[in-house]
Amino acid sequence: MARAKQIQERRAKTKAEAATGDRVVASNRRARHDYDIIDTLECGIMLTGSEVKSLREGKAQIADSYARIDDGELWLFAMHIPPWSYAAGFGSHDPDRKRKLLVHRRELNRLHNETRTQPLTLVPLSLYFKNGRAKVDLALAKGRQMHDRREALKKRDAEREMARSVRNNEKLG
């Protein structure tokens, strides 16, 4: 009897941790290759119920998405969240609709000034849950040209090779 109660308590605890735990739903790995990341910002995101349920299933794509400031509000475009499998008709949502991002006015004004005066863009890096709420890690980034990408790859490979040789020298003594 006591053993069964312990198992139930453990299951309830893991369910509560899963609901409130930090978990990455989608990440944009290509963004770090295509852009020079200048600054990052954590934003909240306004979602409908079926979108949250779909995200909790781990379904979202942010590879081609971008953010833009329209009429004094920050919006995320081209993020695809497929409809929740159990929502049909009235309960479902448009998978490719624009979604409002939640930031402080001060941060919004700073982003607006920087994107207006310089050739910068707002790119989402990851979509995750933090304390049970959906968040977007948004980057202020500058696009790379093809030769800049090649240089970045060469630099990263050289740094890896140096680190590898240092580790081998430390192992050998």
pLDDT of the residue at 78: 92
State if pTM tops 0.95: no
Domain with 50, as residue range(s), is 26-144
Give domain status of residue 48, yes or no.
yes
Token pair in block for residue 111: 């982003």
pLDDT of the residue at 30: 87
Give domain status of residue 84, yes or no.
yes
pLDDT of the residue at 153: 82
Token pair in block for residue 13: 């605890």
The count of structural domains within the chain is 1
Q: Specify the range with the lowest mean pLDDT, choosing from 33-42, 116-125, 143-152.
A: 143-152
Token pair in block for residue 51: 């979108």
Residue of 153 and 117 predicted with greater confidence: 117
Buried b vs exposed e over 80-110: b needs ≥16 C-beta within 10 Å?
ebbbbeebeeeebbeeeeebebebeeeebee
Question: What is the tens place of the pLDDT at every residue in 12-63?
Answer: 655 555 555 578 888 888 888 888 899 999 999 999 888 888 888 888 898 8
pLDDT of the residue at 19: 55
Closest CA to 115 of 137, 139, 144: 139
- Tell me the HSE value of 154 on the side-chain side, using a 13 A CA sphere: 6
What is the rounded average pLDDT of the residues 151-155?
84
Give domain status of residue 72, yes or no.
yes
Does 105 score more than 70 pLDDT? yes
**Beta-bridge partners for 123:** 139
* Residues contacting residue 138 through CB under 8 Å, at least 6 positions apart: 40, 41, 42, 43, 67, 101, 122, 123, 124, 125
Give domain status of residue 168, yes or no.
no
* CATH number of the domain enclosing 36: 2.40.280.10
